[in-house]
Structure 1
């Protein structure tokens, strides 16, 4: 077994994570020259440069990125195994998640997680639509991205969109037997990010019943579903939203779901974690808790929740 200088590994991880020799020195409570010495020793052992230094700019080389990806999980597992033997019961886990899912579904349920699993210290990281699945980013993800073969994926939700408006707006509509034609007589609140094109959400919704958005329809555009839903709350028109945005929220009663069809977007939400870490107690508890809450809130049916949903990337 040919191991690198082991003292240099946590130094390398800290410099890469903080993108700074000085900040890594402060975190590790050593001098900056000691950090530089450890990095140089590791680079000499590996025979590869790990960082590119251009003036004040510091960046990982391709070799450095690959090496960090390889050792990060091992360092985390060493830390946890050591903590267990020392009697440390807490488990700090980073979960990367979409802002809308976090704000509208996850955060309101965190007190339940803390009651059931006080040993888990959950750190939430906001992520974009297609996050890089890497231990450098987080320990686990709620994501629609399933392109990494190193990860396992558990289904939480198959997204569908349905129209809603505020309760006051609904009363003013005096809708009665509402039709698709009636909808076009009201402002449509559209979210760009769902289909990444202007009015893509409403186009997909009307296409489900073989119709198009009439050219004269008034459409108000928003970059994010959170914004469109807030506009609907304040009686500005009809928005398309999904189940987790209204699931068991105290303010769900502010909205009325129109008695019309829904459309499946094709986006499936998964809990993702590295396959090599699936049996770690903290990750296993977090996974089971998320699946149970997805069933409780109606995002996932009970039969699906009791079935293994390991997804293999295509």
Structure 2
């Protein structure tokens, strides 16, 4: 089958990636009219419209997005193969990760990554919800339960949730429960889960995508239900509930990557844990598994997960 005009492909990739004819022209050091001409030539050859144009705004059509998925990957492989043949190593890598994991666990460790591997140029993309994994989104991903054809992964963390609150809020809980005769020690080593229902529970819908579901499941683990009198404050994301707990507004459900045992402001309550069934993995294209940057980042993440207690050695 006849190949498309090869000089049009890098132009198409740049426009699709940057979502702009003018930015693509600047990157390629050509005029905007030259970019437009190359795109028209490619569309004419394919017999498909690749972009929707509305003034200065452009977006890929469904056919354009499908084509970009393949062309972007192919051009990336050509670039990397050329660099390897020339004895160069591509140290640039794009990592897409969930915002809570990135903010709470990854970003605090990035200084150590830069110290250990200064040659690695990491671009971090934070995601609220992981789309279909592809080269368009990132070179690698921190994803929950990834099962996508053509991708391999390494387990970093099996999520377990437990209640936390501010130290001030915890001290108030202990005083209340002592006055009610429910505990005898100033700070008990074990707390009955049902005692928490008289306090404000901070619920994050992002965990199970349903209001109250996080606390419903946690209480059900102890054969309890949410009482009608229990006050529940709702948040869209775990990060928000976690911060509300830090500011003495109630009790939130946290996990190992968000909770820092050395944090003097937050207390992990002495109660049971809930295994959510979610597993966080470092995922990457199987065909790219031997690339130095991906191998280096994978090993560093595994090492950090083990050292921080997220993953067993």
Assess same fold via TM > 0.5.
Answer: yes
Gaps of at least 5 residues in structure 1 are 303-314
**What corresponds to 1:242 in structure 2?**
255
Q: Distance in 2 between matches of 1:169 and 1:274?
A: 46
Partner of 2:171 in structure 1?
171
Matched, 1:226 2:239: yes
List runs of 5+ in structure 2 lacking aligned partners.
175-186
Matched residue, 1:287: 298
Structure of larger gyration radius: 2
Residue correspondences, number: 300
Question: Greater CA deviation, 199-208 or 124-133?
Answer: 124-133
Q: Secondary structure at the match of 2:148?
A: coil
CA distance in 2, matches of 1:61, 1:227: 36
The TM-score with structure 1 as length reference comes to 0.89
Secondary structure at the counterpart of residue 44 of structure 1: helix
In structure 1, what is the equivalent of residue 184 of structure 2? Answer: none
> Does the CA contact (< 8 Å) of 2:98 and 2:130 recur in 1?
no
Match of 1:190 in 2: 203
Counterpart-to-counterpart distance in 2, 1:295 and 1:77: 32
Contact kept in structure 1, 2:159 and 2:276, CA below 8 Å? yes
- Aligned equivalents of 1:117 and 1:138: distance in 2? 20
Secondary structure of 1:244 counterpart: coil
Superposition map of 1:122-271 within 5 A:
122-144=122-144, 146-174=146-174, 175-176=187-188, 177-247=190-260, 252-271=263-282
Question: Residue 83 of structure 2: SS of its match in structure 1?
Answer: helix
- Assess, with a 3 A threshold, how the Cα gap between structure 1 residues 40 and 263 changes in structure 2: closer, same or farther: same
The CA deviation at 1:44 is 3.2
Q: Deviations over 1:85-104 (max 9, x none)?
A: 55544511111111111111
What is residue 306 of structure 1 aligned with on the other side? none
CA distance in 2, matches of 1:75, 1:264: 42
| C-alpha RMSD of matched pairs (Å) | 2.0
Deviates more, 1:217-226 or 1:58-67: 58-67
The separation in 1 between residues aligned to 2:69 and 2:48, in whole angstroms, is 15
**Structure 2 residue 42 is the aligned partner of structure 1 residue 31:** no
Q: TM-score, normalised by structure 2?
A: 0.89
State the distance in 1 between where 2:100 and 2:44 align: 45
What is the deviation of 1:57? 4.3
Distance 1:178 1:145, change over 3 A: closer
Moved more, 54-63 or 9-18: 54-63
